[in-house]
Structure 1
Amino acid sequence: MSYYTSLTGLKNAQTDLNVISHNIANAETNGFKKSTTQFADIISSSVVTDPSLTVGIGSRVANIAQNFTMGAIEQTGNALDLTIGGEGFFTTVSPTSGSTEYTRNGAFSVDGNGFIKNAQGARLQVFPQVNGVTNTASRQDAQVPATNAAGSPFASVTVDQQGQVVAGYDDGTTLTIGTVALANFIAPTGLKQVGDSSWKVSGKSGAPNYGAPGTGAFGALDSGQLERSNVDIAEELVDLISAQRYFQANAKAIDTATQISQTVINLRT
Protein backbone atom coordinates (compact mmCIF):
# COMPACT_ATOMS: atom_id res chain seq x y z
CA MET A 1 0.00 0.00 0.00
CA SER A 2 2.93 2.33 0.66
CA TYR A 3 3.64 2.42 -3.08
CA TYR A 4 0.22 3.84 -3.90
CA THR A 5 0.27 6.19 -0.92
CA SER A 6 3.55 7.73 -2.04
CA LEU A 7 2.36 7.71 -5.66
CA THR A 8 -0.49 10.07 -4.72
CA GLY A 9 2.13 12.35 -3.16
CA LEU A 10 4.20 12.29 -6.37
CA LYS A 11 1.17 13.19 -8.48
CA ASN A 12 0.24 16.02 -6.12
CA ALA A 13 3.79 17.34 -6.11
CA GLN A 14 3.74 17.37 -9.91
CA THR A 15 0.47 19.33 -9.91
CA ASP A 16 1.93 21.78 -7.40
CA LEU A 17 5.03 22.24 -9.57
CA ASN A 18 2.84 22.84 -12.62
CA VAL A 19 0.84 25.54 -10.83
CA ILE A 20 3.96 27.26 -9.48
CA SER A 21 5.61 27.12 -12.92
CA HIS A 22 2.52 28.71 -14.47
CA ASN A 23 2.64 31.50 -11.88
CA ILE A 24 6.32 32.19 -12.53
CA ALA A 25 5.82 32.12 -16.31
CA ASN A 26 3.19 34.87 -15.96
CA ALA A 27 5.04 37.08 -13.49
CA GLU A 28 5.18 39.83 -16.15
CA THR A 29 1.65 39.31 -17.55
CA ASN A 30 -0.57 42.34 -16.90
CA GLY A 31 -3.71 41.52 -14.92
CA PHE A 32 -2.63 37.93 -14.22
CA LYS A 33 -3.79 36.36 -10.94
CA LYS A 34 -1.74 33.60 -9.35
CA SER A 35 -3.11 30.27 -8.14
CA THR A 36 -2.25 28.00 -5.22
CA THR A 37 -2.69 24.25 -4.85
CA GLN A 38 -4.61 22.96 -1.85
CA PHE A 39 -4.43 19.31 -0.76
CA ALA A 40 -6.60 16.97 1.30
CA ASP A 41 -5.83 13.62 2.91
CA ILE A 42 -7.44 10.32 1.90
CA ILE A 43 -8.63 7.93 4.62
CA SER A 44 -9.94 4.40 4.12
CA SER A 45 -12.22 3.33 6.95
CA SER A 46 -15.65 1.89 7.71
CA VAL A 47 -18.16 2.07 10.54
CA VAL A 48 -16.39 -0.79 12.32
CA THR A 49 -12.88 0.64 11.96
CA ASP A 50 -11.13 1.46 15.23
CA PRO A 51 -10.33 5.22 14.99
CA SER A 52 -7.08 4.66 16.88
CA LEU A 53 -5.90 2.22 14.17
CA THR A 54 -6.95 4.20 11.10
CA VAL A 55 -4.18 4.46 8.50
CA GLY A 56 -4.28 7.07 5.74
CA ILE A 57 -3.80 6.03 2.11
CA GLY A 58 -2.44 9.23 0.62
CA SER A 59 -3.52 12.69 -0.45
CA ARG A 60 -5.34 14.38 -3.30
CA VAL A 61 -5.65 17.81 -4.89
CA ALA A 62 -8.67 19.42 -3.22
CA ASN A 63 -8.61 22.75 -5.05
CA ILE A 64 -6.51 25.02 -7.23
CA ALA A 65 -7.52 28.37 -5.79
CA GLN A 66 -7.19 31.67 -7.65
CA ASN A 67 -5.86 34.66 -5.75
CA PHE A 68 -7.49 37.95 -6.81
CA THR A 69 -5.43 40.32 -4.68
CA MET A 70 -4.39 43.46 -6.54
CA GLY A 71 -1.06 43.46 -8.36
CA ALA A 72 1.56 46.20 -8.46
CA ILE A 73 0.79 49.37 -10.47
CA GLU A 74 2.97 50.42 -13.41
CA GLN A 75 2.80 53.97 -14.78
CA THR A 76 2.56 54.11 -18.58
CA GLY A 77 1.19 57.54 -19.47
CA ASN A 78 -1.20 56.05 -22.04
CA ALA A 79 -4.71 57.49 -21.57
CA LEU A 80 -6.33 54.14 -22.40
CA ASP A 81 -4.23 52.12 -19.94
CA LEU A 82 -6.66 51.70 -17.05
CA THR A 83 -6.56 50.19 -13.57
CA ILE A 84 -9.40 49.46 -11.16
CA GLY A 85 -8.55 50.76 -7.69
CA GLY A 86 -10.54 48.08 -5.88
CA GLU A 87 -13.05 45.41 -6.83
CA GLY A 88 -14.41 44.80 -10.30
CA PHE A 89 -13.54 43.52 -13.77
CA PHE A 90 -13.56 45.20 -17.16
CA THR A 91 -16.22 43.74 -19.45
CA THR A 92 -15.23 42.90 -23.01
CA VAL A 93 -17.08 41.26 -25.90
CA SER A 94 -15.52 39.45 -28.86
CA PRO A 95 -16.81 40.95 -32.15
CA THR A 96 -16.55 37.54 -33.87
CA SER A 97 -17.95 35.06 -31.35
CA GLY A 98 -20.01 37.49 -29.28
CA SER A 99 -18.75 35.89 -26.07
CA THR A 100 -18.40 38.06 -22.97
CA GLU A 101 -15.19 37.95 -20.98
CA TYR A 102 -13.95 39.73 -17.87
CA THR A 103 -10.44 40.97 -17.19
CA ARG A 104 -8.29 43.09 -14.87
CA ASN A 105 -5.89 43.89 -17.72
CA GLY A 106 -6.79 47.44 -18.69
CA ALA A 107 -4.49 47.82 -21.70
CA PHE A 108 -6.83 49.22 -24.37
CA SER A 109 -6.42 51.06 -27.65
CA VAL A 110 -8.56 52.50 -30.46
CA ASP A 111 -8.76 50.54 -33.72
CA GLY A 112 -9.36 51.88 -37.25
CA ASN A 113 -13.13 51.80 -36.78
CA GLY A 114 -13.01 53.75 -33.54
CA PHE A 115 -13.72 50.79 -31.25
CA ILE A 116 -11.84 50.69 -27.94
CA LYS A 117 -10.41 47.16 -27.73
CA ASN A 118 -7.80 45.03 -25.97
CA ALA A 119 -4.87 43.18 -27.57
CA GLN A 120 -7.11 40.23 -28.47
CA GLY A 121 -9.58 42.47 -30.33
CA ALA A 122 -12.36 42.18 -27.72
CA ARG A 123 -14.26 45.45 -27.39
CA LEU A 124 -14.60 47.33 -24.12
CA GLN A 125 -18.19 47.61 -22.90
CA VAL A 126 -19.67 50.90 -21.66
CA PHE A 127 -23.00 52.07 -20.30
CA PRO A 128 -24.59 54.48 -22.83
CA GLN A 129 -25.46 58.10 -22.02
CA VAL A 130 -29.18 58.89 -22.32
CA ASN A 131 -29.91 62.63 -22.05
CA GLY A 132 -26.75 63.07 -20.01
CA VAL A 133 -27.64 60.22 -17.61
CA THR A 134 -25.76 56.91 -17.47
CA ASN A 135 -28.04 53.98 -18.30
CA THR A 136 -26.66 50.99 -16.37
CA ALA A 137 -29.43 48.72 -17.61
CA SER A 138 -27.70 48.13 -20.95
CA ARG A 139 -24.18 47.90 -22.35
CA GLN A 140 -22.65 48.62 -25.73
CA ASP A 141 -19.29 48.62 -27.50
CA ALA A 142 -17.19 51.69 -26.76
CA GLN A 143 -16.81 53.40 -30.15
CA VAL A 144 -15.31 56.82 -30.82
CA PRO A 145 -16.82 58.66 -33.85
CA ALA A 146 -14.17 59.68 -36.39
CA THR A 147 -15.71 63.17 -36.59
CA ASN A 148 -18.15 65.16 -34.47
CA ALA A 149 -21.43 66.69 -35.63
CA ALA A 150 -19.54 69.70 -37.06
CA GLY A 151 -17.24 67.46 -39.09
CA SER A 152 -14.17 68.11 -36.95
CA PRO A 153 -11.81 65.07 -36.80
CA PHE A 154 -11.12 63.02 -33.69
CA ALA A 155 -8.10 64.17 -31.65
CA SER A 156 -7.93 62.27 -28.36
CA VAL A 157 -9.80 60.17 -25.82
CA THR A 158 -9.70 60.26 -22.01
CA VAL A 159 -11.22 58.24 -19.17
CA ASP A 160 -11.87 59.80 -15.74
CA GLN A 161 -12.09 58.11 -12.33
CA GLN A 162 -15.84 57.65 -12.66
CA GLY A 163 -15.26 55.76 -15.91
CA GLN A 164 -16.61 58.36 -18.31
CA VAL A 165 -15.05 57.91 -21.75
CA VAL A 166 -14.72 61.33 -23.40
CA ALA A 167 -13.59 61.92 -26.99
CA GLY A 168 -11.96 65.22 -27.93
CA TYR A 169 -11.99 66.84 -31.40
CA ASP A 170 -9.82 69.33 -33.25
CA ASP A 171 -12.32 72.16 -32.80
CA GLY A 172 -12.04 71.86 -29.00
CA THR A 173 -15.40 70.14 -28.45
CA THR A 174 -15.85 66.91 -26.51
CA LEU A 175 -18.30 64.02 -26.70
CA THR A 176 -19.06 61.55 -23.89
CA ILE A 177 -19.04 58.04 -25.37
CA GLY A 178 -20.32 56.31 -22.24
CA THR A 179 -19.26 55.01 -18.83
CA VAL A 180 -16.99 51.99 -18.48
CA ALA A 181 -19.04 48.98 -17.37
CA LEU A 182 -17.48 47.05 -14.48
CA ALA A 183 -18.61 43.61 -13.33
CA ASN A 184 -18.36 41.85 -9.99
CA PHE A 185 -19.22 38.37 -8.76
CA ILE A 186 -20.38 36.74 -5.55
CA ALA A 187 -17.57 34.17 -5.90
CA PRO A 188 -14.85 35.48 -8.26
CA THR A 189 -12.64 32.47 -7.43
CA GLY A 190 -15.23 30.39 -9.29
CA LEU A 191 -14.65 32.21 -12.58
CA LYS A 192 -13.39 30.06 -15.46
CA GLN A 193 -9.94 30.99 -16.74
CA VAL A 194 -9.78 31.33 -20.53
CA GLY A 195 -6.27 32.75 -20.95
CA ASP A 196 -5.05 36.24 -21.88
CA SER A 197 -5.75 37.34 -18.27
CA SER A 198 -9.47 36.86 -18.92
CA TRP A 199 -12.27 34.91 -17.29
CA LYS A 200 -15.78 33.73 -18.16
CA VAL A 201 -18.83 33.15 -15.98
CA SER A 202 -19.27 29.67 -14.54
CA GLY A 203 -21.82 28.01 -12.32
CA LYS A 204 -19.50 28.48 -9.35
CA SER A 205 -18.94 32.22 -9.85
CA GLY A 206 -22.58 33.27 -10.00
CA ALA A 207 -24.05 35.80 -12.41
CA PRO A 208 -22.23 39.13 -12.95
CA ASN A 209 -23.36 42.26 -11.14
CA TYR A 210 -22.70 45.36 -13.26
CA GLY A 211 -22.02 48.87 -12.07
CA ALA A 212 -20.15 52.10 -12.77
CA PRO A 213 -16.65 52.76 -11.38
CA GLY A 214 -16.60 54.40 -7.96
CA THR A 215 -20.12 53.28 -7.05
CA GLY A 216 -21.03 50.66 -4.46
CA ALA A 217 -18.29 48.05 -4.16
CA PHE A 218 -16.73 48.98 -7.50
CA GLY A 219 -13.34 50.68 -7.45
CA ALA A 220 -12.61 53.95 -9.20
CA LEU A 221 -10.57 53.98 -12.41
CA ASP A 222 -7.11 55.42 -12.83
CA SER A 223 -5.85 56.29 -16.31
CA GLY A 224 -2.26 56.12 -17.53
CA GLN A 225 -1.29 53.02 -15.56
CA LEU A 226 -1.65 49.22 -15.63
CA GLU A 227 -2.13 46.54 -12.99
CA ARG A 228 0.67 44.02 -13.21
CA SER A 229 0.65 40.36 -12.16
CA ASN A 230 0.19 39.69 -8.42
CA VAL A 231 2.89 36.99 -8.54
CA ASP A 232 5.67 37.43 -5.95
CA ILE A 233 8.76 35.80 -7.47
CA ALA A 234 10.52 35.33 -4.10
CA GLU A 235 7.47 33.62 -2.65
CA GLU A 236 7.09 31.40 -5.72
CA LEU A 237 10.75 30.32 -5.56
CA VAL A 238 10.33 29.30 -1.91
CA ASP A 239 7.19 27.35 -2.87
CA LEU A 240 9.12 25.78 -5.74
CA ILE A 241 11.83 24.50 -3.39
CA SER A 242 9.17 23.16 -1.02
CA ALA A 243 7.36 21.34 -3.86
CA GLN A 244 10.67 19.87 -5.04
CA ARG A 245 11.41 18.54 -1.56
CA TYR A 246 7.88 17.16 -1.40
CA PHE A 247 8.45 15.30 -4.67
CA GLN A 248 11.85 13.98 -3.56
CA ALA A 249 10.52 12.75 -0.20
CA ASN A 250 7.73 10.76 -1.86
CA ALA A 251 10.16 9.32 -4.40
CA LYS A 252 12.46 8.30 -1.53
CA ALA A 253 9.54 6.61 0.25
CA ILE A 254 8.84 4.54 -2.88
CA ASP A 255 12.51 3.64 -3.12
CA THR A 256 12.54 2.56 0.55
CA ALA A 257 9.42 0.42 0.08
CA THR A 258 11.10 -1.24 -2.91
CA GLN A 259 14.19 -2.07 -0.86
CA ILE A 260 12.09 -3.56 1.94
CA SER A 261 10.16 -5.70 -0.54
CA GLN A 262 13.40 -6.89 -2.08
CA THR A 263 14.76 -7.82 1.35
CA VAL A 264 11.65 -9.86 2.14
CA ILE A 265 11.93 -11.67 -1.21
CA ASN A 266 15.59 -12.46 -0.54
CA LEU A 267 14.71 -13.89 2.90
CA ARG A 268 12.21 -16.27 1.31
CA THR A 269 14.78 -17.49 -1.17
Structure 2
Amino acid sequence: MSFYTSLSGLRNAQTDLGVIAHNIANAETTGFKKSDTEFSDLVAGGRSADPRLTVGIGAQVSSIKQNFKLGATEQTGSTTDLAINGDGFFAIRGAENNKTAFTRNGAFAVDGQGFMHDGFNNRLQLYAVDANGDVIDTTTTIDAQIPQANGAGAELSGISIGKNGLLSASYVDGSVEPVGRVALVSFIAPTGLRQLGNSQWESTGLSGDPTYGMPGIGRYGNVLSGALERSNVDLAEEMVGLITAQRNFQANAKAVDTATQLSQTILNLRS
Protein backbone atom coordinates (compact mmCIF):
# COMPACT_ATOMS: atom_id res chain seq x y z
CA MET A 1 0.00 0.00 0.00
CA SER A 2 2.90 2.34 0.69
CA PHE A 3 3.81 2.25 -3.02
CA TYR A 4 0.42 3.63 -4.08
CA THR A 5 0.34 6.12 -1.21
CA SER A 6 3.68 7.57 -2.31
CA LEU A 7 2.60 7.39 -5.95
CA SER A 8 -0.34 9.68 -5.20
CA GLY A 9 2.10 12.08 -3.57
CA LEU A 10 4.33 12.01 -6.65
CA ARG A 11 1.39 12.75 -8.92
CA ASN A 12 0.22 15.60 -6.73
CA ALA A 13 3.70 17.11 -6.56
CA GLN A 14 3.91 16.89 -10.34
CA THR A 15 0.58 18.70 -10.69
CA ASP A 16 1.75 21.36 -8.24
CA LEU A 17 4.96 21.83 -10.23
CA GLY A 18 2.92 22.21 -13.42
CA VAL A 19 0.67 24.88 -11.89
CA ILE A 20 3.65 26.82 -10.53
CA ALA A 21 5.44 26.59 -13.88
CA HIS A 22 2.33 27.97 -15.60
CA ASN A 23 2.23 30.88 -13.15
CA ILE A 24 5.90 31.69 -13.70
CA ALA A 25 5.54 31.45 -17.48
CA ASN A 26 2.76 34.10 -17.32
CA ALA A 27 4.47 36.49 -14.93
CA GLU A 28 4.49 39.14 -17.70
CA THR A 29 1.07 38.34 -19.21
CA THR A 30 -1.29 41.31 -18.96
CA GLY A 31 -4.40 40.58 -16.90
CA PHE A 32 -3.23 37.05 -15.97
CA LYS A 33 -4.44 35.56 -12.66
CA LYS A 34 -2.34 32.97 -10.87
CA SER A 35 -3.62 29.60 -9.67
CA ASP A 36 -2.98 27.65 -6.46
CA THR A 37 -3.12 23.88 -6.05
CA GLU A 38 -5.15 22.59 -3.11
CA PHE A 39 -4.93 19.01 -1.80
CA SER A 40 -7.05 16.74 0.37
CA ASP A 41 -6.17 13.49 2.13
CA LEU A 42 -7.52 10.00 1.38
CA VAL A 43 -8.28 7.42 4.09
CA ALA A 44 -9.19 3.73 4.06
CA GLY A 45 -12.06 2.89 6.39
CA GLY A 46 -15.83 2.78 6.68
CA ARG A 47 -18.42 3.86 9.22
CA SER A 48 -18.01 0.64 11.16
CA ALA A 49 -14.20 0.84 11.23
CA ASP A 50 -12.34 1.73 14.41
CA PRO A 51 -11.35 5.40 13.97
CA ARG A 52 -8.18 4.70 15.97
CA LEU A 53 -7.05 2.32 13.22
CA THR A 54 -7.87 4.49 10.21
CA VAL A 55 -5.10 4.22 7.64
CA GLY A 56 -4.19 7.03 5.27
CA ILE A 57 -3.79 6.03 1.64
CA GLY A 58 -2.38 9.23 0.20
CA ALA A 59 -3.68 12.52 -1.13
CA GLN A 60 -5.50 13.93 -4.10
CA VAL A 61 -5.80 17.27 -5.84
CA SER A 62 -9.05 18.77 -4.57
CA SER A 63 -8.92 21.87 -6.77
CA ILE A 64 -6.73 24.22 -8.76
CA LYS A 65 -8.08 27.51 -7.50
CA GLN A 66 -7.70 30.79 -9.36
CA ASN A 67 -6.53 33.83 -7.40
CA PHE A 68 -8.23 37.04 -8.55
CA LYS A 69 -6.36 39.53 -6.38
CA LEU A 70 -5.47 42.75 -8.22
CA GLY A 71 -2.21 42.93 -10.11
CA ALA A 72 0.02 45.99 -10.27
CA THR A 73 -1.15 48.83 -12.52
CA GLU A 74 1.29 49.97 -15.21
CA GLN A 75 0.96 53.35 -16.90
CA THR A 76 1.21 53.10 -20.70
CA GLY A 77 0.06 56.49 -21.93
CA SER A 78 -2.21 54.94 -24.58
CA THR A 79 -5.83 56.09 -24.27
CA THR A 80 -7.24 52.75 -25.42
CA ASP A 81 -5.33 50.82 -22.72
CA LEU A 82 -7.75 50.27 -19.83
CA ALA A 83 -7.37 48.91 -16.31
CA ILE A 84 -10.03 48.26 -13.67
CA ASN A 85 -9.50 49.48 -10.13
CA GLY A 86 -11.96 47.01 -8.63
CA ASP A 87 -13.39 43.51 -9.02
CA GLY A 88 -15.10 43.93 -12.39
CA PHE A 89 -14.33 42.38 -15.77
CA PHE A 90 -14.53 43.83 -19.26
CA ALA A 91 -17.13 42.18 -21.49
CA ILE A 92 -15.92 41.40 -25.01
CA ARG A 93 -17.90 39.90 -27.88
CA GLY A 94 -16.47 37.99 -30.84
CA ALA A 95 -17.13 39.71 -34.16
CA GLU A 96 -17.40 36.36 -35.95
CA ASN A 97 -18.97 33.97 -33.42
CA ASN A 98 -20.90 36.58 -31.40
CA LYS A 99 -19.72 34.81 -28.24
CA THR A 100 -19.23 36.89 -25.09
CA ALA A 101 -16.17 36.41 -22.89
CA PHE A 102 -14.76 38.33 -19.93
CA THR A 103 -11.28 39.68 -19.32
CA ARG A 104 -9.12 41.86 -17.10
CA ASN A 105 -6.76 42.55 -20.01
CA GLY A 106 -7.64 46.03 -21.22
CA ALA A 107 -5.07 46.25 -24.04
CA PHE A 108 -7.53 47.47 -26.65
CA ALA A 109 -6.95 49.04 -30.04
CA VAL A 110 -9.11 50.68 -32.70
CA ASP A 111 -9.42 49.06 -36.15
CA GLY A 112 -10.14 50.69 -39.51
CA GLN A 113 -13.89 50.56 -38.89
CA GLY A 114 -13.59 52.30 -35.54
CA PHE A 115 -14.25 49.19 -33.41
CA MET A 116 -12.32 48.85 -30.15
CA HIS A 117 -11.02 45.29 -29.99
CA ASP A 118 -8.54 43.15 -28.05
CA GLY A 119 -6.38 42.01 -30.98
CA PHE A 120 -8.33 38.75 -31.38
CA ASN A 121 -11.33 40.41 -33.07
CA ASN A 122 -13.27 40.56 -29.79
CA ARG A 123 -14.99 43.92 -29.40
CA LEU A 124 -15.34 45.84 -26.16
CA GLN A 125 -18.93 46.13 -24.96
CA LEU A 126 -20.55 49.47 -24.11
CA TYR A 127 -23.88 50.77 -22.90
CA ALA A 128 -25.56 53.06 -25.43
CA VAL A 129 -25.86 56.69 -24.24
CA ASP A 130 -27.78 59.79 -25.26
CA ALA A 131 -26.33 63.14 -26.27
CA ASN A 132 -25.74 64.01 -22.61
CA GLY A 133 -23.79 60.81 -21.92
CA ASP A 134 -26.57 59.19 -19.88
CA VAL A 135 -27.10 55.46 -20.34
CA ILE A 136 -30.20 54.65 -22.36
CA ASP A 137 -30.62 50.93 -21.64
CA THR A 138 -28.77 48.84 -19.04
CA THR A 139 -30.20 45.52 -20.24
CA THR A 140 -28.26 45.34 -23.52
CA THR A 141 -24.74 46.19 -24.66
CA ILE A 142 -23.33 47.31 -28.00
CA ASP A 143 -19.96 46.97 -29.71
CA ALA A 144 -17.66 49.90 -29.05
CA GLN A 145 -17.46 51.70 -32.38
CA ILE A 146 -16.07 55.22 -32.69
CA PRO A 147 -17.54 57.28 -35.57
CA GLN A 148 -14.73 58.51 -37.81
CA ALA A 149 -16.67 61.72 -38.52
CA ASN A 150 -19.46 63.60 -36.76
CA GLY A 151 -22.77 64.74 -38.20
CA ALA A 152 -21.16 67.90 -39.59
CA GLY A 153 -18.56 65.89 -41.48
CA ALA A 154 -15.64 66.81 -39.19
CA GLU A 155 -12.99 64.10 -38.88
CA LEU A 156 -12.09 62.33 -35.65
CA SER A 157 -9.18 63.91 -33.79
CA GLY A 158 -9.06 61.78 -30.62
CA ILE A 159 -10.91 59.88 -27.92
CA SER A 160 -11.05 59.99 -24.15
CA ILE A 161 -12.34 57.57 -21.50
CA GLY A 162 -13.29 58.77 -18.03
CA LYS A 163 -13.14 56.90 -14.73
CA ASN A 164 -16.88 56.34 -15.00
CA GLY A 165 -16.28 54.52 -18.30
CA LEU A 166 -17.73 57.22 -20.55
CA LEU A 167 -16.10 56.99 -23.99
CA SER A 168 -16.11 60.33 -25.84
CA ALA A 169 -14.91 61.24 -29.32
CA SER A 170 -13.34 64.58 -30.22
CA TYR A 171 -13.48 66.05 -33.73
CA VAL A 172 -11.42 68.64 -35.59
CA ASP A 173 -14.23 71.21 -35.40
CA GLY A 174 -13.85 71.21 -31.61
CA SER A 175 -16.98 69.21 -30.84
CA VAL A 176 -16.98 66.32 -28.32
CA GLU A 177 -19.63 63.62 -28.58
CA PRO A 178 -20.32 60.71 -26.18
CA VAL A 179 -20.04 57.27 -27.80
CA GLY A 180 -21.00 54.96 -24.96
CA ARG A 181 -20.18 53.87 -21.45
CA VAL A 182 -17.97 50.85 -20.74
CA ALA A 183 -19.96 47.90 -19.40
CA LEU A 184 -18.36 45.96 -16.52
CA VAL A 185 -19.29 42.53 -15.23
CA SER A 186 -19.02 40.85 -11.83
CA PHE A 187 -19.59 37.30 -10.60
CA ILE A 188 -20.73 35.94 -7.25
CA ALA A 189 -17.95 33.31 -7.38
CA PRO A 190 -15.21 34.32 -9.88
CA THR A 191 -13.06 31.31 -8.91
CA GLY A 192 -15.64 29.20 -10.77
CA LEU A 193 -14.93 30.91 -14.11
CA ARG A 194 -13.57 28.70 -16.90
CA GLN A 195 -10.27 29.82 -18.39
CA LEU A 196 -10.25 30.27 -22.17
CA GLY A 197 -6.67 31.47 -22.63
CA ASN A 198 -5.51 34.96 -23.71
CA SER A 199 -6.52 36.20 -20.22
CA GLN A 200 -10.17 35.46 -21.00
CA TRP A 201 -12.85 33.61 -19.03
CA GLU A 202 -16.40 32.40 -19.53
CA SER A 203 -19.13 31.88 -16.96
CA THR A 204 -20.09 28.44 -15.62
CA GLY A 205 -22.61 27.06 -13.16
CA LEU A 206 -19.94 27.39 -10.46
CA SER A 207 -19.29 31.08 -11.12
CA GLY A 208 -22.93 32.06 -11.48
CA ASP A 209 -24.39 34.25 -14.21
CA PRO A 210 -22.64 37.54 -15.06
CA THR A 211 -24.04 40.65 -13.44
CA TYR A 212 -23.59 43.75 -15.59
CA GLY A 213 -23.01 47.19 -14.17
CA MET A 214 -21.29 50.52 -14.75
CA PRO A 215 -17.85 51.73 -13.64
CA GLY A 216 -17.77 53.77 -10.47
CA ILE A 217 -20.74 51.94 -8.94
CA GLY A 218 -20.33 49.37 -6.16
CA ARG A 219 -17.81 46.56 -6.51
CA TYR A 220 -17.25 46.99 -10.25
CA GLY A 221 -14.54 49.61 -9.76
CA ASN A 222 -13.36 52.56 -11.82
CA VAL A 223 -11.85 52.44 -15.29
CA LEU A 224 -8.32 53.82 -15.63
CA SER A 225 -7.44 54.97 -19.13
CA GLY A 226 -3.79 54.84 -20.21
CA ALA A 227 -2.96 51.93 -17.90
CA LEU A 228 -2.90 48.13 -17.87
CA GLU A 229 -3.19 45.58 -15.07
CA ARG A 230 -0.12 43.36 -14.91
CA SER A 231 -0.09 39.71 -13.88
CA ASN A 232 -0.66 39.12 -10.16
CA VAL A 233 2.11 36.49 -10.06
CA ASP A 234 4.71 37.11 -7.32
CA LEU A 235 7.90 35.49 -8.61
CA ALA A 236 9.51 35.26 -5.16
CA GLU A 237 6.46 33.45 -3.79
CA GLU A 238 6.38 31.11 -6.80
CA MET A 239 10.06 30.25 -6.41
CA VAL A 240 9.49 29.28 -2.78
CA GLY A 241 6.52 27.17 -3.85
CA LEU A 242 8.66 25.59 -6.57
CA ILE A 243 11.29 24.53 -4.03
CA THR A 244 8.60 23.14 -1.70
CA ALA A 245 6.98 21.13 -4.51
CA GLN A 246 10.39 19.78 -5.53
CA ARG A 247 11.14 18.68 -1.96
CA ASN A 248 7.71 17.06 -1.74
CA PHE A 249 8.40 15.13 -4.94
CA GLN A 250 11.80 14.01 -3.66
CA ALA A 251 10.37 12.89 -0.31
CA ASN A 252 7.70 10.76 -1.98
CA ALA A 253 10.29 9.28 -4.35
CA LYS A 254 12.42 8.40 -1.32
CA ALA A 255 9.42 6.71 0.32
CA VAL A 256 8.95 4.57 -2.80
CA ASP A 257 12.64 3.65 -2.70
CA THR A 258 12.41 2.70 1.00
CA ALA A 259 9.33 0.54 0.36
CA THR A 260 11.22 -1.18 -2.46
CA GLN A 261 14.13 -1.96 -0.15
CA LEU A 262 11.79 -3.39 2.49
CA SER A 263 10.08 -5.59 -0.07
CA GLN A 264 13.42 -6.82 -1.33
CA THR A 265 14.53 -7.64 2.22
CA ILE A 266 11.37 -9.69 2.83
CA LEU A 267 11.87 -11.58 -0.43
CA ASN A 268 15.47 -12.33 0.52
CA LEU A 269 14.34 -13.70 3.92
CA ARG A 270 11.87 -16.04 2.24
CA SER A 271 14.53 -17.37 -0.10
Q: TM-score range by the shorter chain?
A: over 0.9
* Amino acid across the alignment from 2:203: V
By how many angstroms is 1:131 displaced? 5.3
Structure 2 residue ranges without an equivalent (≥5): none
Q: What's 2:13 paired with?
A: 13
Q: TM-score, normalised by structure 1?
A: 0.98
Query: Would you say the 8 A contact 2:131–2:177 is kept in 1?
Result: no
* Amino acid across the alignment from 2:223: L
By how many angstroms is 1:136 displaced? 1.4
The 1-side partners of 2:261 and 2:99 are apart by 56
The 1-side partners of 2:235 and 2:67 are apart by 15
Number of residue pairs the alignment of both structures matches: 269
The 2-side partners of 1:168 and 1:185 are apart by 34
Computed over aligned residues only, the root mean square deviation of the Cα atoms, in angstroms, reads 0.8
Tell me whether 1:42 sits opposite 2:42 in the alignment: yes
Query: Per the alignment, in what secondary structure is the counterpart of residue 150 of structure 1?
Result: coil
* Amino acid across the alignment from 2:104: R
Q: Deviations over 1:137-180 (max 9, x none)?
A: 21000001111101111111110000000011111111111000
The 2-side partners of 1:107 and 1:193 are apart by 18
Query: Which portions of structure 1, spanning 4 or more consecutive aligned residues, are displaced by more than 3 angstroms?
Result: none
Tell me whether 1:261 sits opposite 2:263 in the alignment: yes
Tell me whether 1:216 sits opposite 2:218 in the alignment: yes
The 1-side partners of 2:131 and 2:154 are apart by 22
Q: What's 2:229 paired with?
A: 227
For residues 114-129 of structure 1, the aligned pairs below 5 Å read: 114-129=114-129
* Amino acid across the alignment from 2:157: A
For residues 10-89 of structure 1, the aligned pairs below 5 Å read: 10-89=10-89
Query: Would you say the 8 A contact 2:165–2:223 is kept in 1?
Result: yes
Q: What's 1:237 paired with?
A: 239
Query: Per the alignment, in what secondary structure is the counterpart of residue 28 of structure 2?
Result: coil
Q: Deviations over 1:171-201 (max 9, x none)?
A: 1111111000000000000000000001001
The 2-side partners of 1:174 and 1:110 are apart by 18
Tell me whether 1:144 sits opposite 2:185 in the alignment: no
Structure 1 residue ranges without an equivalent (≥5): none
Q: Deviations over 1:228-250 (max 9, x none)?
A: 00000000000000000000000
Q: Deviations over 1:114-141 (max 9, x none)?
A: 0001121200000001453202121000
The 1-side partners of 2:130 and 2:167 are apart by 14
Q: Deviations over 1:61-114 (max 9, x none)?
A: 001000000001111000111111111000000101111010011111100110
The 1-side partners of 2:72 and 2:190 are apart by 20
The 1-side partners of 2:140 and 2:54 are apart by 58
Q: What's 1:160 paired with?
A: 162
* Amino acid across the alignment from 1:189: T
- % identity of equivalent residues: 55
Query: Per the alignment, in what secondary structure is the counterpart of residue 218 of structure 2?
Result: coil
Tell me whether 1:174 sits opposite 2:147 in the alignment: no
The 2-side partners of 1:83 and 1:105 are apart by 7
Query: Per the alignment, in what secondary structure is the counterpart of residue 97 of structure 2?
Result: coil
Query: Per the alignment, in what secondary structure is the counterpart of residue 217 of structure 1?
Result: helix
The 1-side partners of 2:149 and 2:48 are apart by 81
Query: Per the alignment, in what secondary structure is the counterpart of residue 18 of structure 1?
Result: helix
